[in-house]
Amino acid sequence: MEITRTFELPNTKLLAIKFDGEKLDALEMLQEQWSSVDFLKEFFRQFHKDYYEKYGRSKLNRLVLQVQDLADDLFETLYELAEDVESDAVAEFFKPLDNRESVSEPYELQKLKAKGEERTSFLRIYALRFKGTIIVTGGAIKLTDRMGDRKHTNDELKKLELVKAFLDKDNPDVEFSYLDIT
């Protein structure tokens, strides 16, 4: 496991996990998935009941386009905020994963989520707060109220815990490498 920079120096506020055996880091993976028509069609075929129960009926092609638009907006906002190295805007964009936690009391290794600005956005990017940075661990299309209700969102909880345990050991092997996402 390594932690990759999402921008060339001097930006150190937004990082992403690259899991062993993966070619892409967590942010790159999300961008690839959420722009893939095939991935999105398969996802909504599998979870059409969840979507219908929460949002009502929609045609598959419309859902795919909606996710792609929401993803574009989400990544654009995230990268604009991350480029501002003078402020904590990117850290403020991420909210505590647990809605019961206070936004005004951040702490080390806090589990976080970011979502689009639209109220109905079901896209989530998950991260941890670590040494003044945000480290993205993954993301999901969240259609249920609880993450534990579906395997794909439960897997994201497990990733958060795995990375948290890795960082919590004060691991001297934590490696920061350079990666420019365009």
Cross-sheet strand order for the sheet of 133-141: 95-96, 111-115, 123-130, 133-141, 14-18, 2-5, 176-177
| Assigned domain for 80 exists | yes
Q: How confident is the model at residue 180, as a pLDDT?
A: 34
| Assigned domain for 176 exists | no
Q: How confident is the model at residue 12, as a pLDDT?
A: 66
Q: How confident is the model at residue 178, as a pLDDT?
A: 37
User: What is the Cβ-side half-sphere exposure of residue 21, based on CA atoms within 13 angstroms?
Assistant: 0
- Work out how many domains the chain is built from and give that number: 1
Q: How confident is the model at residue 181, as a pLDDT?
A: 32
Distance, CA of 133 to CA of 62 (rounded, Å): 36
Q: How confident is the model at residue 131, as a pLDDT?
A: 86
By the 8 A CB rule, do 4 and 19 touch? no
Domain range spanning residue 53?
2-169
Q: How confident is the model at residue 147, as a pLDDT?
A: 93
| Assigned domain for 174 exists | no
| Assigned domain for 182 exists | no
Q: How confident is the model at residue 103, as a pLDDT?
A: 86
Q: How confident is the model at residue 82, as a pLDDT?
A: 87
Phi and psi torsions of 137, nearest 5°: -105, -20
Collapsed DSSP state (helix, strand, coil) of residue 133: strand
Distance, CA of 91 to CA of 84 (rounded, Å): 11
Each as own residue / partner, the long-range contacts of residues 143-147 (CB below 8 Å, 24 or more positions apart, any chain) are 143/47, 143/50, 143/51, 143/54, 143/55, 144/50, 144/54
| Assigned domain for 98 exists | yes
| Assigned domain for 150 exists | yes
Identity at 147, one-letter amino acid code = M
| Assigned domain for 179 exists | no
| Assigned domain for 180 exists | no
Q: How confident is the model at residue 7, as a pLDDT?
A: 53
Query: Residue-wise pLDDT tens for the chain (182 aa)?
Result: 666 665 554 556 889 999 989 999 999 999 999 999 999 999 999 999 999 998 888 899 999 999 999 999 999 999 889 888 788 899 999 999 998 998 888 999 999 999 988 777 899 999 999 988 899 999 999 999 999 999 999 999 999 999 999 888 755 555 544 333 32
Distance, CA of 174 to CA of 170 (rounded, Å): 8
